[in-house]
Structure 1
Amino acid sequence: MNKLIEKIKEEIKNQTTIPYLGIGIFKNVKTKEGEQIPYDFDSLILKMNNNRPMSPRLMYEFSRAAMHLEQRRGYEYIQQLTNFIYTKSFEPTKLHKEIINLNPKYIIDTNRDLKFQEILSNTPYTLIVGKARILNNDYRFEIYKWEVKTKKYIKSTQEELKNATKILFKPMGSPLPNPSFIVSDADYVDWFTEAMGGFAVPSFLKKYRKSKKYLFLGTNFSTDTDRMMANELTLDLEGGYYVKESPLTKKEENFLKKHNLTHIPISLEEFNKYFIEAL
């Protein structure tokens, strides 16, 4: 196991493997007030619904539950609620720090928190934030450059992205520079529709990602949302690694086979231990 993880870390350093993070990385991570950060669909739904479970039909997938809340309380309510959940302060995890230490050019973070943005606050980088339900615009992202001196985001372009030395892609949104999130079914339907038309990923990244591998951490390919998102964001991949304890579901097995992914059959906690300690 150590040799495999050392190999993965070396691939991240030399830019052949791209870190791809999902909600599962927050298991056992608490805010400074002692609240558990959502780490799967169930915990996110409970957090959005005042810790009250919803019907089994809605608990199946959090975007469906969010759509139910949006229909009752409005779009702005869901956006503000998501912002409230993901701006709670917490210490950077060792995994976040180690990934930054490896200095990858490109990170995909499908979470909605600010931790990578906070860690990179003294580093020039380009931020890509996913968007949904934008009027008069096919593209489902906005691009910003982080200016270290002023500590501000400056609107950028696809042309300027070619010169970026570091890229953080947050396809499901972020609290900064402006709170905007892809959360409900309506958001996802809009995003996936435009993604399949080629409008959810900047042109430069479509070229850059060719023949890359990915390290999938905290994702769950048993869920339709995670599979569809990964499929759209990693087109033309060469393969990669999927960290999850056995056994895999049939949906996971099929996805791994289709995308030539190596299954690393240990818990994320155990993987993190090896990953942080490996040279």
Structure 2
Amino acid sequence: MKKSDLEAHIKSGNVVPFLGMGVFKETKTDDGDQIPFDSDSMILSLNGGRAMSPRLMYEYSRAAMSLEQRKGRAFIEQMTHHIFTHKPYPMPEAYQWLQTLMPQYVVDLNLDDSLLKLYADVNHFLITGVSRIMAGYDRFIVYAYTASTKEYHPVEKEMLNPLLPILFKPLGCTVPDKNFIISDADFVDWLTEAMGGYALPPFLKTYKNSKSYLFLGIDFNRDTYRMVANEITLGLEGGYLVNDKEKVSKKEEKFLNSHSIEKLDTTLEAFLRGE
């Protein structure tokens, strides 16, 4: 499918943008630090630039769990927040492209606030994922954003409706509260409740049905992302994947085929530039 056709479907709401870490591949802070764009670079950022053992380098959630066990939960939350807030960086090109479309519904697995900046002048809903909480089973918080005051405030999940854009950040965000799903324990808790139906507000469970997805910068080689995407897109009608991998693994191929997701033969940079 051509980019122009996808843009038309995104504007109509039939195709939902679904963003992952790969959209940060070309993004550096103003003084040259790389924003994490894959599992390895995320681990290096969490661990002060130092590599960890091969077992921990397999996936950043595993490395984050090790750091949390050694240094505490507060450390991993503060470090994650620090990575995306301590130095300014330009808006990644994928978000700049979305700004020309302003979709009514976006799923964003990234932990920073780039997506929120696009909607700073528009009233909207924000849903952020949470994990390992004692009060109830819901693994999300719904916020309403008021553009005139630039403020988010929590609202009851029943208030969610399609009259305003819905920004869904299932793995958390740096704002309005530092809630991150980043360690193995976070993902296990979130996925367990997700499979029980507690990861999405009731409205979103039906609103998302029969939609297609455009996956940008997501690597489905890791079990974690496949499981998260599967829960969030239940009821989908296929979709498209754009990332910088030339070949997909057998696990990825099986996932893409079972979900009727077509991997477009282009890089993310070329796609965004319409090449």
SS class of match (2:143): strand
Residue in structure 2 matched with residue 251 of structure 1 by the alignment: 251
Give me the whole-angstrom Cα distance separating, in 1, the residues matched to 2:84 and 2:156.
27
Give me the whole-angstrom Cα distance separating, in 1, the residues matched to 2:215 and 2:166.
17
Q: Return the offset for 1:93.
A: 2.4
| Residue 48 (structure 2) pairs with residue 50 (structure 1) | yes
User: Within 5 Å, which residues of 2 pair with 1:51-90?
Assistant: 51-87=49-85, 88-90=87-89
Residue in structure 1 matched with residue 262 of structure 2 by the alignment: 262
Checking the alignment, whether the CA contact within 8 Å between 1:126 and 1:164 is kept in structure 2 is no
Give me the whole-angstrom Cα distance separating, in 1, the residues matched to 2:150 and 2:248.
43
AA in 2 matched with 1:218: G
AA in 2 matched with 1:262: E
Give me the whole-angstrom Cα distance separating, in 1, the residues matched to 2:84 and 2:14.
30
Give me the whole-angstrom Cα distance separating, in 1, the residues matched to 2:177 and 2:247.
40
SS class of match (2:48): coil
Residue in structure 2 matched with residue 136 of structure 1 by the alignment: 135
Checking the alignment, whether the CA contact within 8 Å between 2:214 and 2:239 is kept in structure 1 is yes
User: Within 5 Å, which residues of 2 pair with 1:215-254?
Assistant: 215-244=214-243, 245-254=245-254
Q: Return the offset for 1:160.
A: 1.2
Give me the whole-angstrom Cα distance separating, in 1, the residues matched to 2:144 and 2:12.
23
Give me the whole-angstrom Cα distance separating, in 2, the residues matched to 1:209 and 1:200.
13
Q: Return the offset for 1:163.
A: 4.7
Q: Structure 1, residues 12-51: CA drift from partner, whole Å, max 9, x if none?
A: 0110000000000000101122211000000000111111
SS class of match (2:2): helix
Q: Which ranges in structure 2 are unaligned for 5 or more consecutive residues?
A: none
AA in 2 matched with 1:89: P
Per the normalisation by structure 1, the TM-score is 0.95
Give me the whole-angstrom Cα distance separating, in 1, the residues matched to 2:259 and 2:33.
36
Q: Which ranges in structure 1 are unaligned for 5 or more consecutive residues?
A: none
Q: Structure 1, residues 51-80: CA drift from partner, whole Å, max 9, x if none?
A: 111111000010000000000000111011
Residue in structure 2 matched with residue 169 of structure 1 by the alignment: 168
SS class of match (1:70): helix
Q: Return the offset for 1:254.
A: 0.4
Q: Return the offset for 1:94.
A: 2.9
Percent identity, aligned pairs only?
46
Q: Return the offset for 1:164.
A: 3.9
Residue in structure 1 matched with residue 29 of structure 2 by the alignment: 31
Residue in structure 1 matched with residue 20 of structure 2 by the alignment: 22
Q: Return the offset for 1:83.
A: 0.5
Checking the alignment, whether the CA contact within 8 Å between 2:23 and 2:93 is kept in structure 1 is no
Give me the whole-angstrom Cα distance separating, in 1, the residues matched to 2:148 and 2:128.
21
AA in 1 matched with 2:109: T
Checking the alignment, whether the CA contact within 8 Å between 2:140 and 2:199 is kept in structure 1 is yes
Checking the alignment, whether the CA contact within 8 Å between 2:209 and 2:235 is kept in structure 1 is yes
Q: Return the offset for 1:92.
A: 1.3
- In terms of mean alpha carbon deviation, does 66-75 or 86-95 score higher? 86-95
SS class of match (2:141): strand
Q: Structure 1, residues 195-223: CA drift from partner, whole Å, max 9, x if none?
A: 00000011111101111000000100111
- In terms of mean alpha carbon deviation, does 145-154 or 73-82 score higher? 145-154
Checking the alignment, whether the CA contact within 8 Å between 1:46 and 1:53 is kept in structure 2 is yes
AA in 2 matched with 1:179: K
Residue in structure 2 matched with residue 5 of structure 1 by the alignment: 3
Give every structure 1 segment of 4 or more consecutive aligned residues whose post-TM-superposition deviation is greater than 4 Å.
none
Per the normalisation by structure 2, the TM-score is 0.96
AA in 1 matched with 2:246: S
Give me the whole-angstrom Cα distance separating, in 1, the residues matched to 2:77 and 2:123.
28
Checking the alignment, whether the CA contact within 8 Å between 1:20 and 1:215 is kept in structure 2 is yes
SS class of match (1:126): strand
User: Within 5 Å, which residues of 2 pair with 1:112-127?
Assistant: 112-127=111-126
Checking the alignment, whether the CA contact within 8 Å between 1:19 and 1:215 is kept in structure 2 is yes
